[in-house]
Structure 1
Amino acid sequence: MYMIGVCTAAFGTLGLMRFFGMPWLWSVAAALGIYIGCGGWRFLRIIFKTALRDLLGLSVLIQVKYELYRHRKANSNVPKIFRDVVRRHPEKAALIYEATDDKWTYRRLDEFSNAVANFFSEQGFLPGDVVAIFMESRPEFVGFWLGMAKVGIEAALINFNLRLDSLLYCVKTSGAKALIFGGELSEAVSEVNGMLGKNMVKFWTGDISPDSITSDTRHLDPLLALASKSPPAQVSAKGLDDRLFYIYTSGTTGMPKAAIVVHSRYYRIAAFGYYAYRMTPDDIVYNCLPLYHSA
């Protein structure tokens, strides 16, 4: 309220002097003097001290806006942007899995996601269909949703901490036609298996005891090993404003709620981080957050 009063006094001085016919230069100088003398210098000091930060923020915003404009004009999407990166850096590390020190190059991630895209297309999944992913964080997680996105299939990224009603709610409300789950979560899936419905196609990936899964669940890893690693014949026609995948709230105020992540939102989050932190192609980003929340 104090600063509002200071601004009012300054603008009042400006208006009064102009009313009496004083020149603009004198009027502005008098108004600025009133503003500074009444404490406005504190605000000017803040502007001066934060100018570089604000200019950086403005430059980042302009860069991201320009990149989005360029990709939108090219009718691009996340898989197409990823494809361009693969062409430039095929043997560069894309993902480093700390648990096993396994390094996935861009080429490996591209081929794995191509196998995912080709397999689910051959299984009859169409653009706009939803497949739920329920597994702990590891490189395959990225390959699954990226591969689906290449053919327009939308992934629902399920929190691997969910159990029983919350898990069932997230899978069913997503409209998923299939569920991919990690072997480490087979017990959680078995608890809701009877309520998923007969039409739910289920795949498991990773290590698991065969006794802990039902007969209608298929092992995805050998199926992907046999799938073509070439780019899918039918690529997604989705644009930047179309759905990429779903993420969920934590469910602290009721059941978890789905949030739609479109291609432009995903790209915007990554681009803001890249430009704001002035990253270079030699930098490595350490991710300590779960992949199911689009980290």
Structure 2
Amino acid sequence: MAKVTARTVAERAGVSLAAVSRAFQPDSPLAEDKRTRILRIAEQLGYKTPSGRSFSRVSSGTISLVAGDLSNPFYPVVLEELSLRLHEEGRRLVLHAVPAGASVDLVMQQVSGYRSDAAIVASATMSSQLARECRKQNLPVILFNRVQPDLQMNAVTCDNYRGGQMVAERLMSRGCRRIGYIAGLRNTSTHLERARGFLDELERHGLRPFCEAEGNFSYSHARDAVLPLLRAAALPDALFCENDIMALAAMDVARMIGLRVPEDLAIIGFDDIPLAGWEAYRLTTVRQPMRQMVAEVLQLIDMIKAGQGTNGTIRVLPVRLIERDSA
């Protein structure tokens, strides 16, 4: 069988020998689509450079962030923190946004093409098949504030269950008994854990939710969901909204129809996005330790790349209830 050379790769890819050489040097100038095509063909042919570098060993010094909901201000803050941390370390961050309604699996093909050192998946869910494929390619994948029923999936998350408990404890200590809640996306671990902690704590005190609605972690959905609850004959005296965006929507609706927050209606959110602290809202909320979560993600990536970490690692970080004026 004839030896595969750089010329073989160049001819198959329709590029120059110099382009093949640059494709295996991540910091060299070369259009990313051309680099991806060359590396893909090199992998198919089993080509190795004279120094012994193969396609699977090309490292770009790049971390990919795959994000499914950049409309939530929490994730742009995460993006900024990740970018600053990686810049300090001489590495790069590439953002891959998942279009609304699209599968993260399609975006992960772009990540593979970039030859990222690792992928961080935030506000999105991967299929088990894709997770297995990433492991075959030695591509570490870390879920950010999500967990999945895959024993080999890595994740860094806040203690969403405890956060839900804290909200129920605070509202009941305030004397609230007609407590409603606005749920996020039903198929996400963030919703499941926050709701479970909240409902378990209510039940422990002999209470059930006074009312509930689905806000899908969205301002507009939450606004439409809250309005009929606050126009009903029997009104809740408190609402737990599973993220801050929905809580801000609830506050806006309450004010629009003449309810006072917190005198008539106490509201608590989750995340502690920057808007939560603005004077117009002063939202009581559960704070995710975002900076610590980012640091843990990067540490976990480095451990896995160095062969010191194992798949299936889940790190759960504590949360804090931030008391402001809305409850």
Q: Report the TM-score when normalising by structure 1.
A: 0.33
TM-score norm. by structure 2 comes to 0.31
Q: Larger RCO: Structure 1 or Structure 2 (Cα < 8 Å, ≥ 6 residues apart)?
A: 1
Structure richer in helix, relative to its length: 1
